[in-house]
Amino acid sequence: MASVDGTGASVSGRLRSGDLLHAGLAVALLLGVWHVGGLEVTTGKVSMTEAINGSTVLLPCSYMSCIGIRNLYFRWEYNDNGTLLKYCQAEIPMAGVEPKVEIFHSRVEFVGSSRGNISILLKNITFEDAGDYICFARNQKEKNRNHSATFTLKVVDQLKEVDNTLTVIIVSVLGGVIGLVIIVMVIKALVVHFLLKDDEKNKECLVSSSGNDNTENGLSGAKADNKGTPKA
């Protein structure tokens, strides 16, 4: 206090803005405390999972409330392409009471506890189970404010996927190699065939031309002479 008095009136403007800041901070803090005190619903840090079709998945959800709970209502819903399907619901009268859960889905099982865990299991999942699951909760002790968290499920057919890619790779590589070999062989056969034919034709031409045409005969004759002279 003494130090504040000592600074004098010259910095009163700064002090005022400082007071304002303090007041703002206090309000923010109060709001924060109030917020923290209320219900918090979470589906975990990584609110998504990938699971193989036919398996059983845990859809995790937990709540926490520093101000305590009274008649806490919660439900799990599945977002079926925009339509929310209710999978289960319950009301917990007070903290520490094991919830009596109404279940509306044949493959859903409640595995939560009386200590804020309201997770469910979804059994024998199919590809149609993929999508968003909403964990909703409302605490009567805080004027029924709505809270919810979403968990995303991805369904995969891992084995089939791996097999498929492997098969595709093997088939395409083998097919490519075999196709290339076949193409090369065909080209080779064709080339050899035509070359041989051309040779034969050329020979025929040479033979026939040598007999008929004199102008060409001269050339070929010259060649024949060139070839013939070293030998002789």
Ligand X SMILES: *[C@@H]1O[C@H](CO)[C@@H](O)[C@H](O)[C@H]1NC(C)=O
Tell me which residues touch ligand X (CB under 6 A).
53-54, 58, 60, 62, 81, 106-107, 111-112, 117, 119, 123-124, 146, 157
**Residue 171 C-beta: closest distance to ligand X, Å:** 20
Q: What is the 3-state secondary structure (H, E, C) of the chain?
A: CHHHHHHCHHHHHHHHHHHHHHHHHHHHHHHHHHHHHCEEEECCCCCEEEEECCCCEEECCEEEECCCCEEEEEEEEEEECCEEEEEEEEEEEECCCCCCCEECCCCEEECCCCCCECCEEECCCCHHHCEEEEEEEEEHHHCCEEEEEEEEEEEECHHHHHHHHHHHHHHHHHHHHHHHHHHHHHHHHHHHHHHHHHHHHHHHHHHHHHHHCHHHHHHHHHHHHHHHHHHC
| Rounded least distance, CB 142 to ligand X, Å | 11
Tell me how far, at minimum, the Cβ of 58 lies from ligand X, in Å.
5
Q: Cβ closer to ligand X: 7 or 55?
A: 55
Instruction: Pick the closer one to ligand X by CB: 62 or 139.
Output: 62
Q: At closest approach, how far in Å is the CB of 176 from ligand X?
A: 29
Nearest Cα to Cα of residue 41 among 121, 145, 152: 145
| Nearest CB to ligand X, comparing residues 58 and 206 | 58
Using the minimum distance from each CB to ligand X, give the nearer residue, 70 or 107: 107
Of 61, 55, 77, nearest to 132 by C-alpha is 77
**Nearest distance, CB of residue 94 and ligand X, angstroms:** 20
Q: Assess contact for 44 and 60: CB atoms under 8 A.
A: yes
Name the minimum Å distance from CB 7 to ligand X.
Answer: 47
Q: Which residue is nearest to ligand X (CB)?
A: 54
Q: Which is nearer to ligand X, 54 or 179 (CB)?
A: 54
Q: Which is nearer to ligand X, 130 or 205 (CB)?
A: 130
The residue with tokens 């059983």 is: 56
